[in-house]
């Protein structure tokens, strides 16, 4: 069993760290937010009060942080992970960030003689809780084989996507599919409503027909058909709209740099930007259906309304 430092104990990090503890690893966790550290201590973890404490004696350091700024800072800053991790430690960044950040941090790790993989995840909070995440890993064959048994305590499907940064590249493409498909599912449920079709009827049929997708069958944006979906809990995240917007922006950035065409990805990015701007950054991303419904409905529900699309 390994000594693991876990940095970032939020919606995803906390259940992931708890599954490592359940698998018998000794986990020391660190989060800037004291409430998150307290929750971690309550599930049996050792809560560190500083980043370097979480790295002390670690065989493996895992990060699950919001975005590139936090990842660069946690690894590269003075007193950060690269400076604090013991020689030979394995570093795993499971956050969703841009490819360039993943490659820059891994290159800096190599200079410090530390091995690193990028290992972003799919499945959301339910899969993080259940230990059934999908990992998309970028790194050398050797480092992937080292990371795999640790990742298996948090996920059931561990893919080796390619070299360093390739896990993030796949993740960015995957989440563009997710963001776009959530809008398509939301629009379809709004249209069905206008056409007098019960949401459960649309769900029962479309989930067995060619409209089937994760956004509908695991995170249905209307209350009812999927009891565990955030729609049943006032769109409490889950994956926040702010995080989805971040991922869609990463995809647009990557499309621009690589010369790929992405008109629907661009439209989805613009819609999420409006939804976030309207005050819904911390709502689940499936809450975009409230925005798409339009201002009248949103006002009825007591939501702050700035601008909304027509349906
Ligand atoms: P979150 O905001 O709930 O958690 C992030 C945690 O990191 C917070 O508790 C925050 O206090 C902490 N933090 C920030 N800066 C820190 C620092 N410098 N040192 C220590 N702790 C710090 O976010 P989340 O939903 O858990 O997402 C984390 C990552 O996983 C993101 O990159 C996100 O895109 C990705 N992701 C999220 C989901 C999801 O459904 N929530 C699914 C797949 C991937």
* Residue 117 and residue 230 in one domain: no
Task: Name which residue sits closest to atom 15 of ligand 1, judged by CA.
Answer: 70
Mean pLDDT of 274-303: 82
pLDDT at 296: 58
Domain with residue 56: its CATH number is 3.40.50.720
Span 66-81, pLDDT tens digits: 999 999 999 999 999 9
Paired sense of beta strands 133-138 and 121-122, if any: antiparallel
Tell me the pTM.
Answer: 0.91
Please indicate, yes or no, if residue 179 is contained in any of the structural domains.
Answer: yes
Q: Which of 11, 129, 276, 284 to mutate to test the pocket of ligand 1 (most atoms within 8 A of CB)?
A: 11
Rounded to the nearest integer, the mean pLDDT of the chain is 94
What are 233-260's pLDDT values in tens digits? 999 998 999 999 999 999 999 999 999 9
Give the whole-angstrom CA distance, residue 126 versus residue 121. Answer: 12
What is the CA(66)–ligand 1 centre distance, in A? Answer: 4
Confidence at residue 294, expressed as pLDDT on a 0 to 100 scale: 86
Q: How confident is the model at residue 308 (pLDDT cuts 50, 70, 90)?
A: very low
Looking at the fold, whether 241 and 286 belong to one and the same domain comes out as: yes
286 belongs to a structural domain: yes
User: Does residue 205 register a pLDDT over 90?
Assistant: yes
Nearest CA to ligand 1 atom 29: 95
Q: Which residues line ligand 1 (CB under 6 A)?
A: 7-13, 30-33, 36, 64-67, 70, 73-74, 95-96, 121, 124-125, 238-239, 243
Q: Are residues 107 and 181 in the same domain?
A: no
Between the alpha carbon of residue 80 and those of residues 119, 124, 228, 267, the distances in Å are 19, 27, 37, 38
* Domain coverage including residue 40: 3-163
- Active-site residue flag, 171: yes
* 155 and 52 in a common domain: yes
Q: Determine the pLDDT at residue 116.
A: 98
Q: Considering 141, 163, 185, which residue would you say is the last residue of a domain?
A: 163
12 DSSP 8-state letter: T
| Closest-CA residue to 114 (of 140, 90, 148, 80) | 90
Q: Report the nearest-CA residue for atom 34 of ligand 1.
A: 96
pLDDT at 300: 45
């Amino acid at each position: 069993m390994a000594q693991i430092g876990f940095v970032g104990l939020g919606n995803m990090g906390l259940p992931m760290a708890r599954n490592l503890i359940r698998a018998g690893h000794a986990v020391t966790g660190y989060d800037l937010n004291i409430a998150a550290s307290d929750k971690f201590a309550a599930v049996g973890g050792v809560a560190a009060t500083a980043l370097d404490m979480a790295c002390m004696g670690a065989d493996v350091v895992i990060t699950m942080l919001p975005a590139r700024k936090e990842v660069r800072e946690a690894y590269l800053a003075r007193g950060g992970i690269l400076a604090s991790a013991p020689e030979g430690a394995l570093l795993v960044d499971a956050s969703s960030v841009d490819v360039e950040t993943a490659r820059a941090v891994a290159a800096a790790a190599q200079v410090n003689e530390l091995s690193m993989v990028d290992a972003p995840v799919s499945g959301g909070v339910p899969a993080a809780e259940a230990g059934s995440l999908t990992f998309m890993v970028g790194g050398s064959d050797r480092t992937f084989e080292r990371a795999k048994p640790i990742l298996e305590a948090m996920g059931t499907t561990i893919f080796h996507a390619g070299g360093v940064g390739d896990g993030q590249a796949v993740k960015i493409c995957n989440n563009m599919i997710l963001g776009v498909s959530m809008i398509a599912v939301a629009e379809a449920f709004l249209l069905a409503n206008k056409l007098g079709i019960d949401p459960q009827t649309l769900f029962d049929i479309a989930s067995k027909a060619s409209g089937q997708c994760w956004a509908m069958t695991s995170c249905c944006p209307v209350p009812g058909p999927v009891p565990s979906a955030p729609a049943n809990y006032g769109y409490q995240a889950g994956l926040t709209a702010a995080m989805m917007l971040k991922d869609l922006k990463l995809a647009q950035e990557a499309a621009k740099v690589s010369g790929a065409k992405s008109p629907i990805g661009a439209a989805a990015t613009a819609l999420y930007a409006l939804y976030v701007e309207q005050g819904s950054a911390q709502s689940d991303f499936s809450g975009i259906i409230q925005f798409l419904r339009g201002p009248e409905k949103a006002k009825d529900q007591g939501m702050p309304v700035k601008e909304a699309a027509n349906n």
